[in-house]
Amino acid sequence: MKHIFIGIDPDIHKSGVCAWDRTDKTLDMQSLSFFQLFDYLSKYKDSINRVRVEAGWLNEKSNFHTRFNQTKEAGERIAKNVGANHETGKKIIEMCVYLGLEVEPVKPLGKITPDYFEKLTGIKCKNQDIIDAAMLVYEL
């Protein structure tokens, strides 16, 4: 029976990953590199019901070139990193399709602070990528 739901917040170096096991009522939260994520999904693919990937590219606007008090170089660096994160997310979706997993790109839910996350879930976590991944499976 497929009983695990996965949330992933893509990042260039290590993506936030949260696995909700509906049977055991357990939450596994960690930060994984691209290939660690491949190994993880491959290992559990027969138990995974669905993977939800935060898809920032679905936002209508993601222009970081004109923030107040920001240099042009800083804006360009931020835009480059955002683009790399988006590409990582698209590759993660491609990875899921390759593994035969049901995958759903999800528009970002908005920033959840570590304090609010703890109030909501009772779990202490300071890693924003992991928090974002957990929110993708929180209400499933």
Q: Buried (b) or exposed (e) across 4-35, using 16+ Cβ within 10 A?
A: bbbbbbbbeebbbbbbbeeeeeeeebbbbebe
Residues of the chain with confidence (pLDDT) below 50:
none
Extended beta strands in 10-125, E state: 15-21, 26-32, 48-54, 103-106
**Mean pLDDT, the chain, as a whole number?**
89
Domain range for 31 is: 4-137
Instruction: Tell whether the torsion through CA atoms of 127, 110, 104 and 122 is positive or negative.
Output: positive
pTM of the entire predicted model: 0.87
CATH of the domain at 116: 3.30.420.10
**Rounded distance between C-alpha atoms, residue 99 and residue 27, angstroms:** 22
**Phi, psi of 112, deg, nearest 5:** -110, 120
**Rounded distance between C-alpha atoms, residue 67 and residue 71, angstroms:** 8
- Per-residue pLDDT, 13: 94
- Per-residue pLDDT, 40: 98
Paired residues of 104 in beta bridges? 52
- Per-residue pLDDT, 73: 73
**Radius of gyration over every alpha carbon of the chain, rounded to an integer in angstroms:** 16
SS3 category, 73: helix
Number of domains within the chain: 1
**Phi, psi of 28, deg, nearest 5:** -110, 115
- Per-residue pLDDT, 1: 81
